[in-house]
Amino acid sequence: MNPTLLIRHLNAALAAPTLATALSLWPLLGLPMGALAQTSDAAGAKAALTVQVVSPQAGEWTSTLAVNGNIAPWAEAIVGSQVNGLRLVEVLAQVGDSVKAGQLLARFDEAPVLLDLAQARAAVQEAQAQLADATANAQRARSLGSTGVVSVQQLGQVEAAEAVARARLATAQAVVAAQELRLQHTRVLAPDAGSVSARSATLGAVAGPGTELFKLIRQARLEWRAEVPAADLSRVKTGTAARLTTPSGAVVSGTVRRVSPAVDPQTRNALVYVDLKTSENSDARAGMFARGELRFEARRALMLPAPAVLLREGFDVVLVVDERQRVRQTKVTVLAREGEQVAVQGLDTKARVVARGGAFLADGDAVRVVEAPAK
């Protein structure tokens, strides 16, 4: 027989006004008639269920907010080609490599640049010789200008030639500087420390200016871009703790670094950027989708064992034992669930709450109380 139905029939038999009525109800229980005699000593009182009671204990609970989001690089760096018409002769970095700032990643053929640099340096020497000759001519013309041997027009022409020679030297020196810079660009260096997330550099390829060769995750830092509903956005602050679970089940902790100032008009969610504390052995990868939670500051609350909190008619309730040893159904507000403990609101610290087995009790039932062992 159903336990609930059995208890109802038992209560009806025990509360019967006459023995005849009790005897008529007793066969419904499916028990021998001799069992009725064992209950006659109760003088018509309802049978009492033995229960353990506990008192709410003060504790701390942490409210959480479940959110989802993608794992992404904290910042990326694109390493591209800065030279034109040169062939890649060496590729030193591969996907997954950890690199340092300034580390050589690839190298272009520098022979054509060295030839252009040598030609530019020769042009500088030629310009220096022309400037020296023009300067000497200008000095002689200025020394003879007072004697009238050199006319004013001739003196102006000589000084103009000197200025042109000086400008040609400056141009030649600029060409040398440009070729030296081009020579430096034949060596592709990492702009920052990090890990190589993509490589498009191919040995022997001739890359044009701006061609992407490598992509780096700067400082190997990852972030979790959690989507938070606009209604909960006011609860999230910089420094809020976070915890997410990767697809493999590994748990990664982090801290909120920034909250987006805008809300997506379609999803009504805002991005919260969480700095992740990953190690070398972590399986968190950029591009992963992860579920997690934001954990807010701990608060004081009353804690009860999870079995003591029941769900009846859509409300969270507990069964409180009064001084008459009868249970009273009391509504509570569940603040959080932490393992086997539940943080509740709406109880007195001296209340005696049925620890377990409350599903078999109704409001007003008499019980026999046994104190639950202290933990």
Give me the pLDDT at residue 146, please.
65
Give me the pLDDT at residue 212, please.
94
Q: Which amino acid is at 1?
A: M
Confidence at 158, pLDDT banded by 50, 70, 90:
confident
Confidence at 280, pLDDT banded by 50, 70, 90:
confident
Question: Please, are residues 221 and 277 in contact by the beta-carbon 8 Å criterion?
Answer: no
Give me the pLDDT at residue 283, please.
87
Three-state helix/strand/coil letters over 120-146: HHHHHHHHHHHHHHHHHHHHHHHHHHH
Residue 26 pLDDT exceeds 70:
no
Percentage of the chain with pLDDT > 90?
A: 54
Give me the pLDDT at residue 49, please.
82
**Other C-beta atoms within 10 Å of 359: how many?**
13
Residue 8 pLDDT exceeds 90:
no
Give me the pLDDT at residue 60, please.
77
Q: Which amino acid is at 213?
A: L
Strand order in the sheet with 194-199: 76-80, 212-218, 194-199, 98-99
Average pLDDT over residues 19-37: 44
Residue 273 pLDDT exceeds 50:
yes
Q: Euclidean distance between the first and final Cα of the chain, in Å?
A: 36
Residue 42 pLDDT exceeds 50:
no
**C-alpha separations of 276 from 96, 171, 238, 251, 260 in Å:** 19, 52, 14, 11, 17
Tokens 């499916």 appear where?
Answer: 30
User: Among residues 40, 50, 34, 41, which one has the least CA distance to residue 19?
Assistant: 40
Enumerate residues 6+ apart whose C-beta is below 8 A from 323.
none
* 144 vs 85, higher pLDDT: 85
* 51 vs 95, higher pLDDT: 95
User: Angle at which helices 111-144 and 152-185 pack, to 10 degrees?
Assistant: 160
Residue 40 pLDDT exceeds 50:
no
Give me the pLDDT at residue 257, please.
95
Average pLDDT over residues 5-32: 46
Domain residue ranges of the chain, discontinuous segments joined by +: 1-42, 65-74+218-298, 88-216
Residue 34 pLDDT exceeds 70:
no
Residue 334 pLDDT exceeds 50:
yes
167 token code pair: 């400008």
The whole-chain average pLDDT of the chain stands at: 84
Average pLDDT over residues 123-146: 87
**Other C-beta atoms within 10 Å of 50: how many?**
9
Return d(Cα 6, Cα 25) in angstroms, integer: 11
Give me the pLDDT at residue 102, please.
95
Q: Domain spanning 65-74+218-298: which superfamily?
A: Efflux pump adaptor protein, beta barrel domain (2.40.30.170)
User: Among residues 205, 183, 187, 199, which one has the least CA distance to residue 78?
Assistant: 199
* 13 vs 145, higher pLDDT: 145
Tokens 């694109």 appear where?
Answer: 78
Q: Taking the alpha carbons of 264, 270, 275, 281 in that order, is the dihedral positive or negative?
A: negative
Q: Taking the alpha carbons of 193, 199, 201, 203 in that order, is the dihedral positive or negative?
A: positive
Confidence at 22, pLDDT banded by 50, 70, 90:
very low
**Other C-beta atoms within 10 Å of 197: how many?**
18
177-211: per-residue pLDDT in tens? Answer: 999 999 999 999 999 999 999 999 999 999 889 89
Residue 248 pLDDT exceeds 70:
yes
Average pLDDT over residues 262-281: 91
